[in-house]
Chain A
Amino acid sequence: MGFKSFCFKKSLWVFHFGGASCNNCDIEILDCLTPRYDLERFGILLVGSVRHADVLLVNGSINRRDKDRLLEIYNQASKPVLVVAIGACGCTGGIFAEGNTFAGPVDKIIPVDAYIPGCPPKPEAIIAGIMALVKSK
């Protein structure tokens, strides 16, 4: 394991993209940063600008309007950037998969590195998913 990838894994800064979400996944993502779960002990921080992001957390069903925004956000991020799809809607489309305005799950629009299913996934599941992603890279 090289020095570069070691530093990258130890300091993942997260940018949160919420699509047309029902807000449950957003709340669970915020739970990960609260004192009970405390993602900062792994060096994970929530950043405000996508230019600083190393991980793009995408949740919610992506509808036709969100699609352009998601592409734009992904292109603005400084590479390398990992994409994590969170929740049933982000991974597959969930109950919106047959919907009229649905523009496809996240992996149809941008490349996805990890899927964390659940409706919503527990904070433990999100942490386990991100750690599994870090180990596999």
Chain B
Amino acid sequence: MAVYLFYFLVFPGLLFAAVTGGLFSWFDRKITAWVQFRKGPPLLQPFYDFFKLLLVKETILPQRGSPMVFLMAPVFAVFGATMSAVFILLPLFNITTGFRGDLLVIFYLLTIPSFSYVLGAVASGNPLAAVGGSREMKLILSYELTFLLVIAGVIGKASQNFDLYSIIQMQQDGGPFIGSISGVLLFIAGIFSLQAKLGLVPFDMAEAETELAEGSFIEYSGPPYALIKLTKYIMLFILPCFLVALLLKGFNLHGINILWAFLKVAGVVLLLTLIRNTNPRIKIRQAISFFMIWMNLIAVVAIVLASFGL
């Protein structure tokens, strides 16, 4: 029992994912600053932000709306992010437990944070938050199918294995799945689903600062907003890890290979940051047609190619 609590709270779970995710969040902001010829924030900036919100600021409850759901939604979001962090990172670090990293469980757990944002936004009773929540909902409906098709493509390439352990093992014995045409197509569709799942710029219409004044999170202040920030840090770390596990061979934790594993995740985060910095925010209608038509097409083509072994 204690070892499961350790998994959940300390090593692959909450503490480890939050600290690493915070550092990746700094990396994202620093790269953004360099792209814009700025100097950028100091290394521990995400942690200053988190502790300021958690310890210093007061919490304001909305007058209308449901305070209980409003306060519970960030807790659910952190819970979902932490559970998926545990289930993604255990196979990646090759820690054997009874659970073998079933992809569908991970897929469902990864949707919990987005749904919690919608719940919290709607419970706040603010009209701008309601607009943000409705956009987030439409975005979920459009990118989830693409994400599921990417996972289905990977399962097809891994000869119908559903668990992350076998997928990583298969890539370490053979080559990484990205080394084929279908793998490259799946990677492209996967990167854009990640971008939408993280709410980064081309798909940040749910929390548009200038347009909706932070949209879904407009009413959050103090500790609940700190939990939302924590969820964002964790997601920024585990979603690239998930893509690395699915298509880029996972981690190999012997000697110098640890650096290589780190560089793979950092490379995916760098790609996400560069997409974020070179694109404007698009409308929700454009996002839906982008995912529903083009990304699904790419993913389906990749699945067909994978079934021919390409």
Taking Cβ atoms with an 8 Å cutoff, the residues of A that contact B are 3-5, 7-8, 10-11, 35, 38, 40-41, 43, 47-49, 51-52, 54, 76, 78-80
Known: A41-B41, A43-B45. A48 touches B210 (CB 8 A): yes
5 contacts between A and B (CB under 8 A): A3-B55, A40-B33, A41-B40, A51-B220, A51-B225
Residues of A with C-beta under 8 A to B214: 47-49, 52
Residues of B with C-beta under 8 A to A5: 56
12 further interface pairs, Cβ-Cβ under 8 Å (given A41-B41, A52-B217): A4-B51, A7-B48, A7-B51, A8-B52, A40-B40, A47-B209, A48-B210, A51-B221, A54-B52, A54-B57, A76-B60, A80-B57
B166 lies within 8 A of chain A by Cβ: no
Q: Using CB atoms, name the residue of chain A closest to B55.
A: A4
- Chain B interface residue number, banded: 20 to 34
Known: A47-B214, A51-B218, A78-B221. A38 touches B38 (CB 8 A): yes
Q: How far is the CA of A98 from the CA of B58 in the complex (A)?
A: 38
Chain A nearest Cβ from B115, distance in angstroms: 22
Instruction: Kindly list the 3 A-B residue pairs having the minimum CB-CB distance in the complex, ordered from nearest.
Output: A78-B221, A48-B209, A48-B213
* B213-A40 in contact (CB<8A): no
B49 lies within 8 A of chain A by Cβ: yes
Known: A51-B218, A78-B221. A40 touches B41 (CB 8 A): yes
Q: How far is the CA of A57 from the CA of B73 in the complex (A)?
A: 31
Q: How far is the CA of A38 from the CA of B37 in the complex (A)?
A: 9
B156 lies within 8 A of chain A by Cβ: no
Q: How far is the CA of A5 from the CA of B220 in the complex (A)?
A: 21
Q: How far is the CA of A7 from the CA of B54 in the complex (A)?
A: 10
Q: How far is the CA of A10 from the CA of B26 in the complex (A)?
A: 14
* B51-A40 in contact (CB<8A): no
B98 lies within 8 A of chain A by Cβ: no
B42 lies within 8 A of chain A by Cβ: yes
* B225-A40 in contact (CB<8A): no
B29 lies within 8 A of chain A by Cβ: yes
Chain A nearest Cβ from B302, distance in angstroms: 38
* A8-B56 in contact (CB<8A): yes
Contact pick for A78, options B40, B45, B49, B222, CB 8 Å:
B222
* B221-A11 in contact (CB<8A): no
Q: How far is the CA of A49 from the CA of B212 in the complex (A)?
A: 9
Q: How far is the CA of A38 from the CA of B39 in the complex (A)?
A: 7
Residues of B with C-beta under 8 A to A4: 51, 55-56
Taking Cβ atoms with an 8 Å cutoff, the residues of B that contact A are 29, 33, 36-42, 44-45, 47-49, 51-52, 55-60, 209-210, 212-214, 217-222, 225
Q: How far is the CA of A38 from the CA of B38 in the complex (A)?
A: 6
* B37-A35 in contact (CB<8A): yes
* B57-A11 in contact (CB<8A): no
* B41-A43 in contact (CB<8A): yes
Q: How far is the CA of A78 from the CA of B48 in the complex (A)?
A: 17
Q: How far is the CA of A16 from the CA of B29 in the complex (A)?
A: 22
* B56-A80 in contact (CB<8A): yes
Q: How far is the CA of A49 from the CA of B211 in the complex (A)?
A: 11
Residues of A with C-beta under 8 A to B52: 7-8, 10-11, 54
Residues of B with C-beta under 8 A to A49: 213-214, 217-219
Q: Identify which of A8, A40, A47 gathers the most chain B CB atoms within 10 Å of its CB.
A: A40
* A52-B221 in contact (CB<8A): yes
Chain B nearest Cβ from A57, distance in angstroms: 16
Chain B nearest Cβ from A11, distance in angstroms: 4
Residues of B with C-beta under 8 A to A7: 47-48, 51-52, 55-56
* A43-B49 in contact (CB<8A): yes
Q: Using CB atoms, name the residue of chain A closest to B32.
A: A40
Residues of A with C-beta under 8 A to B39: 38, 40-41
* A41-B42 in contact (CB<8A): yes
Chain B nearest Cβ from A31, distance in angstroms: 13
Contact pick for A38, options B33, B44, B47, B56, CB 8 Å:
B33
* A41-B38 in contact (CB<8A): yes
* B217-A11 in contact (CB<8A): no
* B58-A78 in contact (CB<8A): yes
Residues of B with C-beta under 8 A to A76: 60
